[in-house]
Structure 1
Amino acid sequence: MSYEHLAEVYDRLMEDAPYEEWKNFFLSILDRENVRPERVLELGCGTGEITHRLAHAGYRMTGVDLSPEMLSIAAAKENSSVEWIQQDITKLEGFSDYDAVISFCDVVNYITDSEALASMFHETSRALNEKGLFVFDVHSPAYALEQLAGETFAEVYDDLSYIWFCDRDGSDLIHDLTFFVQQEEGYKRFDEEHRQRIYQLEQIQELLINNGFAVSSVHSDFSLDEDTNGERIFFVCRKV
């Protein structure tokens, strides 16, 4: 999976993403859990949209992503106190004493090996201080299988268009993307393939428990009510 070219157009494609809802959900969870964090670590921060929002809200943010292209865009957006670090989030090194860790926008689904996901949970626990908070989201299995698998999506702008084929391969979703980006002369085409694992919620909970966490609550679609029937499932966890 590469973001070398996708990073160029990522923010254009994500203009309607609910970044404010992710931020506000996290802030509401902090209030409900009576947590007042100073240092927050975001795993899979991409171009930093959520990271910057939380930095503006007063938190000392660290954003981690595997893609140097995505991090370059994140760092160039504005001057801030955010620390940007390129690492594989399943093999974190050098992180400790964070009050909270977040990972949104179905980043966890991009970890397509259960052992690698267990490693990510284990290293996240090590990065947190005592009883630190871990909040993340995943696609619900029903949404992935019923509304993504087997579908084709497309969008056409004046200077950008894409075709996105989404197919199922066992427990994985295969996202086959073709982009056409306007250049000075004609259009540049590039293709990328991305794979996501469809995790059952019970499997995620078991991996969390086995790697240093207790699950405080599970939510769907940015609601503070506990529920697992939506499209996007949120886990709120405490280090134990």
Structure 2
Amino acid sequence: PAPVWNTRPDSIAAVGDSITRGFDACMVLTDCPEVSWATGSDAGVDSLAVRLLGVTGAAQRSWNDAVTGSRMADLRAQMERAVLHRPELVTVMAGANDACRDSTGQMTPVADFHRQFQSALTALRQALPKTEVYVSSVPDLKRLWSQGRTNALGKQVWKLGICPSMLGDADALDAAATQRRDMVQARVVEYNKVLAEVCAKDRRCRFDGNAVFDYRFGTKQLSHWDWFHPSRNGQARLAEIAYRTVTATDP
């Protein structure tokens, strides 16, 4: 019998948040979808779509339905838009904004996150039973803090309100600040467990095995506008991880 997973899908739709929109990778406070790890056309990034479909194919058969600022609660609506393209593969990168809130108390509860992700996947399955799904883990926000805080400019930008739950009072190392960051980190780990568990129940879903979370990025991979979002280089690393996961014969 033919394998369930096709390592060469012929069309791609992307859903998720600002990372997939290439936010702050090209200009400050601006989406730059051409450098998106999932569907971008930028030669330096070599997006998943370009790697799988070629430059022309990616231009014709990939769609970016991600929305900057989205949380998991927004994913179902994005998925409902994505299915209209009838893609053979949908990429999902969402969850960072569920942890990046004004306070730890505002973070999305794990049970809600689970329900919202399941709902989005169900919406896809009801419309397109055979479409494959690649699910990225949520990045390591605590590593973002530890890397970005080495840059004085970055810390000034963070004060504008970028991921306050993790990046607020970036130089504070007292017990309260440490506990706050640990709470955010623990929530991200829980989110990634949810993504893995829900995806594992769908034979046409592949989770990245925490590859994005585990990636040891440095400041070169961070936007030099905000020291939080991926730079072009960071987007290229995300594309590599996705391509490796999607094309593996045995995940």
TM-score, length of structure 2 as denominator length:
0.43
| Larger strand percent | 1
| Higher RCO (C-alpha 8 Å, min separation 6) | 2
TM-score, length of structure 1 as denominator length:
0.45
| Larger helix percent | 2
